[in-house]
Amino acid sequence: MCGIVGYVGERRALPLLIEGLKRLEYRGYDSAGVAMMEDHTLQVTKSAGRVAVLEQMLDFDGSKATTGIAHTRWATHGAPNDANAHPHTDASGRIALVHNGIIENYTAFKKYLEQKGVVFATETDTEVLVQLIGCRYKGNLEKAVREALAEIHGTFGIAVVCSEEPGIIVAARRGSPLLIGVGQGEYLVASDASAILAHTSQVAYLSDNEMAVISADGLRTTTLDNIPVTKDIQEVEWTLDQIELAGHDHFMEKEIFEQPEAMRNCMRGRVDLGEGKVHLGGIADVAREITRAKRIILTACGTAWHAGLVGEYLFEDLGRIPTEVEYASEFRYRNPVIEDGTVVIAISQSGETADTLAALSEARERGALALGVVNVVGSSIARETDAGIYLHVGPEIGVASTKAFCGQVAVLAMMASYMGRRRHLSQSTTQEFLEALARIPEQMEQALENSDQAKTIAEACAQRENWLYLGRGYQYPVALEGALKLKEISYIHAEGLPAAEMKHGPIALINDGMPVVFIATQGSQYEKIISNIEQVRARGGRVIAVATKGDHGITKLATDVLYVPHTLEPLQPLLTVIPLQLIAYHAAVTRGCNVDKPRNLAKSVTVE
């Protein structure tokens, strides 16, 4: 949610900043801007719209600045227009700031500053912060930033420059990701490693309530209370090639087709078929506590919440542990009951989701063992948990999550098997489950063969503005995820439901030709789902079925059938979700939507 990139060194900064913004645009694209420092002069250029609009306004040949900061915005306070775009400057025009997050007490400080004669030019909370820094500035930018941040409440990842202190960037974070890239005689600051990977893979991750002062001469880190902090320099595990399109039209398409390899990477070194075991080093130190858990709470948002719903079935089915799934955004505020023996698992692709971080903090404060399931190494959730497991599915650039969902389900499946074997599962049952899990990548490749058929279905139905997605048991969360994908990127209204609930109201929506997607694989509730299909057919709906390969009888009931290979019922979501991802993708393309950058959405939601 919003993107920050900054540079200080010996090279011309502007091309690096624009390159970084383009790589960050999936995180926010309502507006963009840059602030360049040259000869004690601060030049700010910003515009509503995509980074390409900003790029056309800039003089790349004329700019010799070697220090600058830049931002691409996802609007929270104020409309996405030129004025509200970042960077924002103080009244003197000597300080510029870019900001991710939300300043919660900005209205009080705005009144305070207006009483001191400050005139505001924007509707944003961010301008309040930079004006406050400007009021505190007495020749020392670091001190002014520190004093201002001590007074504000909320979340922030910021980068600040001042024309009176050229060649210096002050950065700080609380609740919003920020890292420092370390190069040869140069440093970069960014909210996401993808912005700087073209120039360095060596990074230092700032933790909450930490500040960095960077110049071409070096990097100094402290807490916001000015206590020195030594940061470890880490190697980013992703490569530049992994965040390029590699011949695909969109990142979402690329990431859908990367899923077989992503699953292999996720399971590599963890699924041991020879011994019939799962090795999960990330939670080995708390294995005894997990095994003795009396209750599990899975907390997440959006797609990760759907993965958590699959996890609920897995933990109760394989582990025989009472499990519930909580929206992270609600968990913190409803005074949750955390009993002795409760394990809370936070699920997030980015590891920076603000609501999930807040839920995790609440759980830990109440005494729960806190685990994380995240994709981004070094992310906030990874650092805040007692233990956890990385997905290792590679970078996910498309806003609509695909391979991260499958990675989350796969990790939860491995955890459920790991815990189940220690509680009640036999060796033979565990072996059977792991062998089926190991076959999933190859079976995913077969499921991806549905792409052309999914395109045909999408082209036929893309102009219908209401769809239903129905599933039972393990397929109910898949129905929710399929509906979410269609909503996110094609802007078609879609609703996911447990199929049995259709008759309790939503059946009234079905009219002639309405697309109704059933996940109707062979399993414990197959006959029930067939009955639900009959009910839709009787009312004229167009039935689109995802079925088990070899089920020829379903062709008599469905207008369209997308087949996936047979696997154990607990693992079916890893296959059945793929045709739904493909339908959503092709529907969005058919409707002319921006697949990777859907309107109003951002990849990492770092505000509440």
Q: Which residues are catalytic?
A: 2, 603
Cα–Cα separations (whole angstroms), residue 565 to 45, 449, 522? 54, 11, 10
Q: How far, in Å, CA of 491 to CA of 527, rounded?
A: 33
Pick from 509, 561, 560: nearest CA to 535: 509
How many Cα atoms within 13 Å fall on the side-chain side of residue 66? 14
With contact defined as beta carbons under 8 Å apart, do 186 and 9 qualify?
A: yes
Give the position of tokens 């900054």: 6
Q: Count the Cβ atoms, other than its own, within 10 Å of residue 357.
A: 25
Query: Letter for the amino acid at 173?
Result: R
With contact defined as beta carbons under 8 Å apart, do 404 and 390 qualify?
A: no
- What is the Cα Rg of the chain in Å? 25
Query: Letter for the amino acid at 516?
Result: V
With contact defined as beta carbons under 8 Å apart, do 12 and 30 qualify?
A: no
DSSP sequence for 288-332: HHHHT-SEEEEEE-HHHHHHHHHHHHHIIIII---EEEEEHHHHT
Query: Letter for the amino acid at 597?
Result: K
With contact defined as beta carbons under 8 Å apart, do 529 and 472 qualify?
A: yes
How would you class 143 by CB atoms within 10 Å of its CB: exposed for 0-12, middle for 13-18, buried for 19 or more? middle
Pick from 126, 112, 172: nearest CA to 147: 172
Give the position of tokens 């922030």: 156
Q: How far, in Å, CA of 605 to CA of 608, rounded?
A: 8
With contact defined as beta carbons under 8 Å apart, do 504 and 535 qualify?
A: no
DSSP sequence for 359-381: HHHHHHHTT-EEEEEESSTT-HH
Q: How far, in Å, CA of 145 to CA of 140, rounded?
A: 9
Cα–Cα separations (whole angstroms), residue 485 to 375, 450, 469, 564? 20, 17, 11, 19
